[in-house]
Structure 1
Amino acid sequence: MIDRSIATQIVELIKTEGLEIGQHLPAQMLADRLRVSRSPVNEALALLHEKGVLTREKNRGFFVAKPVVEPLSEVVSELGLAETDLVTSVYFQIADDRLKNALPDEFSEQLIRNRYALTSAQLTAVLGRIAQEGWAERKPGYGWQFSPMLTTPDSLLKSYRLRLALEPAALLEPGYRLERKTLERCRDVEKHLLAGGIETDTADQLHERGVRFHESLVEASGNSFFIDTIKRVNRVRRLLSYRSMQHRERYAEHAKQHLHVLELLESERNEEASVAMREHLLHTLDALSQIREILEP
């Protein structure tokens, strides 16, 4: 079963990057960008080829067939990518059950298949997605086990305190350089959110947009220790991050704060940007403290 959210993200990338007809979309580049394996990316590329968004050349791969200029929501709806995906629905149910301690640390495929009434293809798709995102893995021999994750409000708040120490410092690294293309992409995402995306985007999309913003800014430091740490933290906070999205009213202010940080970095006022990033993360910490009841099992 094809994960339509990946196809949607590829369409969004074509739009935000302003990719023109004939531009190449290498599968490995997309897999790295979307932080998934090549298999679901190849499936999504094939789907977009069927729908006329991409062309395919033998032994060369996929290329943009037409630019995406209409609002993303209209394009996604027109392509039939907006329909509810059973795999996504079950994915979030498993995540919620895991947070409620309703699933054991170790489990069999049969348990998941029976509990959520899945076909073999759906089971493979949902477990594949969970494995790609790092919160469960196949055991040697037989069965699966959940990876250690952030599953309590206190652990999520501690992850933000780590980020509070790390991210502002990353903006002050010698030789810090945020590429113009990256800055504009980040800015377009925040404008999309303020234009209505906060209400209409899925929890996956909201999470990925936030993660990509912060990781992009840290990556511009060129410091691999900062980069590896922030990516590891973002992987393990995923489940509680999804649940916190039940309260989306805080996201408009977050988007404005992101834009302010980008404006300062664009002007090479990195010390001010570092202070603004610290204030942004403190604001998020405070917001999470106020909604901790929805993070409880």
Structure 2
Amino acid sequence: MSSAGERPVNGKRELTEGLAAQILDHIRGDRLAVGTHVTAQELAERFNVSRFPVGQALQLLASKGVLTHERNRGYFVSDVKNASPETLGLTARNEACDLYFRIAEDHLQGRLPDPVSEAHLRETYGVTKAQLNAVLGRIAQEGWAERRPGYGWSFSPMLTTPESLEQTYRVRLALEPAALLEPTYHLDPETAARCRAAELRLLDGALETDSADALHERGVRFHEAIIGASGNLFFLEAIRRINRVRRLLSYRSMVDRTRYRQQCKEHLLILDLLERGNNEEASQMLRRHLEHTIENLQEIRPILEH
């Protein structure tokens, strides 16, 4: 593995800088304190990638002073007060995100052939092989496209309609409230505080300024955190799988953000109940929260079908 000061080459640069920007957004969004230990394993699980590219991203952030590295101990949050992907020169993330959303929207609109060759994608979007491979890697990890033996890529038909998005929420409605009632449930104070800080940050103004990518990740982090506290890994793995495949239409639904303020407030109420040990009430509140989301999907159906 290269040293912290070295930069990745070829296609690895886009992936490394993209992950570094995501990790920075995670540190800032969750308001991780200086000295907080960040591990490659936890970040790899959060962003659905292997530990190797996460390690490279951590090295890059350490070289820019955002993290400090201690031999045999790992990486720790340093100074992120004035840090952002732009100030750190992590421009590849914006380019990669733009390409990601263009491919996603063209797929939802039926403008891309299926299967599609990488040559066709490079020509259509005017990008290099390295840039395209970085984005296709993310798409494959999220599960809505896969490489075909001998010919290009094919898209999953699983989640391209409002009905399929609603079905994912109905599965969550069956699972998530039940997870809060597990006898092994324990939400540690640090996780609760991190979740609360993320919601308050959004209510303070980030709801209007965060990217759709960041807004989606905030919701994913909240729900996976409170479900992970169940102590039952099967609940958590099921929810993670659903979250990976629902991204496409979730991003599109964020065109209308008016309902997210109420969602933040409901998240905070659920946290209050869990911290007081009122898991039965928290479970009921979570059920109502998900039911409200399903009702809202009907209101934004024209956006999802556009």
TM-score, reference length from structure 1: 0.89
1:48 aligns with 2:61: yes
Q: Distance in 2 between matches of 1:154 and 1:227?
A: 23
- Over 3 Å counting, the alpha-carbon distance change for 1:116 and 1:255 in structure 2 is same
After TM superposition, the structure 1 = structure 2 runs for residues 224-239 of structure 1, keeping only pairs within 5 Å, are 224-239=233-248
Deviations 1:27-78 (A, max 9, x none): 23321233223344234223313322234567x585337243x3xxx42153
| Secondary structure, aligned partner of 2:106 | helix
Matched residue count: 290
Percent identity between the aligned chains? 55
| Secondary structure, aligned partner of 1:207 | helix
Q: Distance in 2 between matches of 1:123 and 1:24?
A: 33
| Secondary structure, aligned partner of 1:149 | coil
8 Å CA contact 1:106–1:145 kept in 2: the answer is: yes
Moved more, 191-200 or 38-47: 38-47
After TM superposition, the structure 1 = structure 2 runs for residues 6-85 of structure 1, keeping only pairs within 5 Å, are 6-15=19-28, 16-20=31-35, 25-56=38-69, 60=72, 63-64=75-76, 66-68=78-80, 70=81, 74-76=82-84, 77-81=86-90, 85=94
Match of 1:214 among 223, 227, 237: 223
- Over 3 Å counting, the alpha-carbon distance change for 1:194 and 1:65 in structure 2 is closer
Q: What residue number does 1:256 align with? A: 265
Q: What residue number does 1:296 align with? A: 305
- Over 3 Å counting, the alpha-carbon distance change for 1:270 and 1:57 in structure 2 is closer
After TM superposition, the structure 1 = structure 2 runs for residues 97-246 of structure 1, keeping only pairs within 5 Å, are 97-246=106-255
Deviations 1:94-139 (A, max 9, x none): 0011111212331211111111111122112111121222221222
Q: Distance in 1 between matches of 2:303 and 2:55?
A: 37
Q: Distance in 1 between matches of 2:124 and 2:92?
A: 23
Deviations 1:235-262 (A, max 9, x none): 1111000000000111111000000000
Give the Å deviation of 1:177.
Answer: 1.0
Q: Distance in 2 between matches of 1:200 and 1:5?
A: 19
After TM superposition, the structure 1 = structure 2 runs for residues 267-282 of structure 1, keeping only pairs within 5 Å, are 267-282=276-291
Q: What residue number does 1:94 align with? A: 103
Moved more, 192-201 or 219-228: 219-228
Q: Distance in 2 between matches of 1:80 and 1:195?
A: 26
8 Å CA contact 1:18–1:67 kept in 2: the answer is: no
| Secondary structure, aligned partner of 1:106 | coil
Moved more, 134-143 or 234-243: 134-143
Moved more, 200-209 or 222-231: 222-231
Moved more, 31-40 or 85-94: 31-40
Q: Distance in 1 between matches of 2:41 and 2:178?
A: 30
Q: Distance in 2 between matches of 1:5 and 1:149?
A: 26
- Over 3 Å counting, the alpha-carbon distance change for 1:141 and 1:173 in structure 2 is same
- Over 3 Å counting, the alpha-carbon distance change for 1:82 and 1:250 in structure 2 is farther
Give ranges in structure 1 of 5+ residues lacking alignment: none
TM-score, reference length from structure 2: 0.87
Deviations 1:149-175 (A, max 9, x none): 311111111221221122111111112
Q: Distance in 2 between matches of 1:185 and 1:64?
A: 16
Give ranges in structure 2 of 5+ residues lacking alignment: 1-12
